Amino acid sequence: DTGVSQDPRHKITKRGQNVTFRCDPISEHNRLYWYRQTLGQGPEFLTYFQNEAQLEKSRLLSDRFSAERPKGSFSTLEIQRTEQGDSAMYLCASSSGAPSSYGYTFGSGTRLTVV
Amino acid sequence: QQQVKQSPQSLIVQKGGIPIINCAYENTAFDYFPWYQQFPGKGPALLIAIRPDVSEKKEGRFTISFNKSAKQFSLHIMDSQPGDSATYFCAARVTGGGNKLTFGTGTQLKVEL
């Protein structure tokens, strides 16, 4: 499978716990994006990487959120001290960054439920 | 601040009908306008996209109409089928914005037999 893979697909956690999600982009894509989608809304940008460099972070990404992309391959998104408001679908996407190829390929997402 | 406004929120059409979904934007720095289709439990999938120097783009049964002066664009689905039942999102990208997309709030389409 050459698509974007996200793990886990579902995560239920208790409020206050830390969680970490993983994203494996399409191998030849140098750009990787994290978005958050709540029920009935469109995806909202969180952050993006070009290779290993994190180039932009949304103000939605509070201090409790951190993302990494070591060696420019897979990426992890960690949420510390989870709150009920963090419950959402976390989507990862990748793109080649070439002007002729602006389209993203999204993964199927990790659905987080904070209880 | 919602930069891309999408309507309607939901839409029901009969098989063979032509659903139309509309989006409007304010930011003239947007230079790329894709549409995404999302099925339950899946991530959004790119359907079709347009640049503002083109007024219409057609791919298969999907057509984007773009009105630059009105800052509006719309998706038309010709000969709609039950398999087209999904949520559709318009989006927009800012020039030099690292390919970051701003999405509309989505339209839930149901195509009935």
Integer-rounded Cα radius of gyration of chain A: 13
Which whole number is the average pLDDT over A75-93?
97
DSSP SS3 for B83: helix
**In terms of Cα–Cα distance, which of A8, A17, A6 is closest to A84?**
A17
What is chain A's length? 115
Q: Who wins on pLDDT, A30 or B98?
A: A30
pLDDT value at B1 more than 70: no
Instruction: Find chain B residues with C-beta within 8 A of A106's C-beta.
Output: 36, 43-45
| B42 touching chain A per CB within 8 A | yes
DSSP A23: E
CA A112, CA A15: separation in Å to the nearest integer? Answer: 11
**Cα pseudo-dihedral B62, B66, B71, B77, rounded to 10:** -20
pLDDT of residue A62: 87
Contact B78, B18 (CB under 8 A): yes
Q: Give yes or no for residue A106 having a pLDDT over 90.
A: yes
Average confidence score pLDDT of chain B? 93
Cis peptide before A25 (omega within 30 of 0): no
The pLDDT of residue B18 is above 80: yes
Mean pLDDT (whole number) for B76-101 = 91
Q: How confident is the model at residue B95 (pLDDT cuts 50, 70, 90)?
A: confident
Label residue A98 by pLDDT band (50, 70, 90). low
If you average pLDDT over residues A32-42, what whole number do you get?
A: 94
Q: Given the DSSP bridges, would you call strands A53-57 and A110-114 parallel, antiparallel or unpaired?
A: unpaired
Question: Over chain A, what is the mean pLDDT?
Answer: 92
B8: cis peptide before it, omega within 30°?
yes
Q: Look at residue B97 and tell me whether its pLDDT is greater than 70.
A: no
Q: Do residues B102 and B1 touch, judged by C-beta distance below 8 A? A: no
**CB-based contact, B86 to chain A, within 8 Å:** no
Q: Choosing among A37, A39, A89, which should be mutated to test the B contact, i.e. which has the most B CBs within 10 A?
A: A37
* pLDDT tens readout for residues B29-55: 898 999 999 999 899 999 999 998 999
Verify whether the Cβ–Cβ distance A102 to B34 is below 8 Å.
Answer: yes
How many Å apart are CA A31 and CA A27, to the nearest integer?
A: 10
CB contact under 8 A, B98 and A42: no
- Secondary structure element (H or E) that encloses residue B63, with its range: strand B62-67
Q: Which chain A residue has the Cα nearest residue B97?
A: A56
Q: Does B62 contact chain A (CB < 8 Å)?
A: no
Query: Distance (Å) from the C-alpha of residue B48 to the closest C-alpha of chain A?
Result: 9
Asked if B41 and A4 come within 8 Å (Cβ–Cβ), the reply is no
